[in-house]
Structure 1
Amino acid sequence: MTERLILLPGWGLDGALLQPLAQALGDTLQAEIAPLPRLTTADPNAWLDELEARLPSDCWLAGWSLGGMLASALAARRGARCRGLISLASNACFVAREDWLSAMPADTYAAFHAGCEATPAATLKRFALLCAQGAADARGLSRQLQAHLQTHADEHLLAGLEVLARLDNRNALASYAGPQLHLLAEQDALVPAAAGEALLALLPAGEVDVLEGCSHGFVLEQPASLAALMLDFICEAHDGDL
């Protein structure tokens, strides 16, 4: 059986950003990039409802950053109708809270949200810089990321930013019984690699790995390394039959 995998992109960037990763996955499985919802509501359930209606069932769900958080929540919703879950540079909670400290500080998020409201174009450019921070060639990666920034700042961008803050996937990750792999970046400026230990403690089964020497934008920085880890995990999850 050829496995099917749906890739969801992150906030503020187009799905073409994931094309190198989809290509690196090769002919071994059927990898498809699906856009995030373009909704103006910040209700996470509405975003999940839209994805549930649009995305095929009985496939692997994967995503980067916000896409990974949505994939995680949707996998828990689907249960046995999801063959497996892979998140890339995603956290259980994007914004820190009293009982989940390995995340973005609340005041940092608040300042970023205010910037997105006041000067969205400048904030998106700053976001690309943050995604590249910690990369071996941060300047070059930032230029690549900026080429994938959404060209207009609609209300759905602000809504997506608020969804990031509202999603709490701790129960979702703990309840999803299918195979799950969570890959973090050692030098991530947005999702601390230190969240890995707390993430692993949530999982009923699964893996959490940290890729050394790379940034939040590792989907563009190290697509071949990510693809190899993803393929190995999917193969092992289905007894070597891929």
Structure 2
Amino acid sequence: MRDRLILLPGWGLGTAPLQPLAGALRGLDPRLHVEIEPLPALDSSDPADWLDELDANLPQDAWLGGWSLGGMLAAELAVRRGERCSGLLTLASNLRFVAEPSWPSAMAAETFKVFRHGCAADSAATLKRFALLCAQGALDARGLSRQLLAAAPQQQSATLLAGLDLLANLDTRAALQAFVGPQLHLFAGADALVPASAAQALLALLPDVEIGLIDHASHAFALERPHEIAAAIQAFLHEAGDD
């Protein structure tokens, strides 16, 4: 269904951060069916296990999208489905979350290592820190971080750690190059977790896809500025539907 969009959330904070965006999208186009699907609660960090779970449970022939980790998984699922995916959109999703020499526009490996160690020691404190990082760069960063944290679901430490290890394992460069459907990738200009330079790096890799940079916005820009993000998505869906 070209009028169906499935959105996947990011790590640790559940589906609530995407609810205002979904509402804004429905308001712009009542014919668009927008669904937010929670990420699998798995203890495995093998991307294939996550993709098998998602592929078995998500509707076919829909647009796939997601925020951060959710966008990375949407990209991998899109190429797995091929023509059974109407198109792909990602929100503040890097192609690699952890930097390596061939992809420096990402979080430093040592920073990620310290963050994971903190999650293993105290997952609640780490989620609080994560919410602050997600909100960093927003006009009301503290208010946004409190909003993110207040709606976060209770999760087992093993599930959170598996999600972090999945983040470290995923590399969506091959998937994005292989997927032939329409793609929109939106980045945030003041993102503390995914450098804005990732947008330019993606453009260099894939000059024919749609890429947008939302200035002065945080990693949680879908919650911070849902109507602006929704307008960009709706314009892209409309243009893709005209092709």
Q: State if a TM-score over 0.5 links the two structures.
A: yes
Number of the residue aligned with 2:210: 207
* CA root-mean-square deviation: 1.2
Unpaired segments ≥5 residues, structure 2: none
**1:203 Cα offset (Å):** 2.5
Number of the residue aligned with 2:177: 174
Select 2:123's aligned residue among 120, 123, 145: 120
- After TM superposition, the runs of 4+ consecutive aligned structure 1 residues lying more than 6 A away are none
2:143, 2:18 → 1: CA distance?
17
Select 1:136's aligned residue among 136, 139, 163: 139
**Match of 2:87, as an amino acid?**
G
Taking only the aligned residue pairs, the percentage that are identical comes to: 60
**1:204 Cα offset (Å):** 6.6
Contact 2:8-2:71 at 8 Å conserved across structures: yes
Contact 2:17-2:220 at 8 Å conserved across structures: no
Contact 2:16-2:152 at 8 Å conserved across structures: no
Number of the residue aligned with 2:201: 198
TM-score normalised according to structure 2 size: 0.96
1:205, 1:8 → 2: CA distance?
24
Contact 1:177-1:204 at 8 Å conserved across structures: no
Number of the residue aligned with 1:15: 15
2:203, 2:120 → 1: CA distance?
35
1:153, 1:41 → 2: CA distance?
13
SS class of match (2:192): coil
For each residue in 1:130-156, what CA deviation from the matched residue of structure 2 results, as whole angstroms up to 9, or x when unmatched?
A: 000000111111111111223233311
Contact 1:25-1:228 at 8 Å conserved across structures: yes
TM-score normalised according to structure 1 size: 0.96
SS class of match (2:242): coil
For each residue in 1:85-142, what CA deviation from the matched residue of structure 2 results, as whole angstroms up to 9, or x when unmatched?
A: 0000001000001100000000000000000000111000000000000001111111
When structure 1 is superposed on structure 2, of 192-201 and 204-213 the one drifting more is: 204-213
**Match of 1:93, as an amino acid?**
R
**Match of 2:184, as an amino acid?**
L
Select 1:60's aligned residue among 63, 69, 79: 63
**Match of 2:187, as an amino acid?**
L
**Match of 1:173, as an amino acid?**
L
**1:201 Cα offset (Å):** 2.5
Number of the residue aligned with 1:6: 6
**Match of 1:76, as an amino acid?**
V
Q: How many residues align?
A: 240
1:82, 1:230 → 2: CA distance?
16
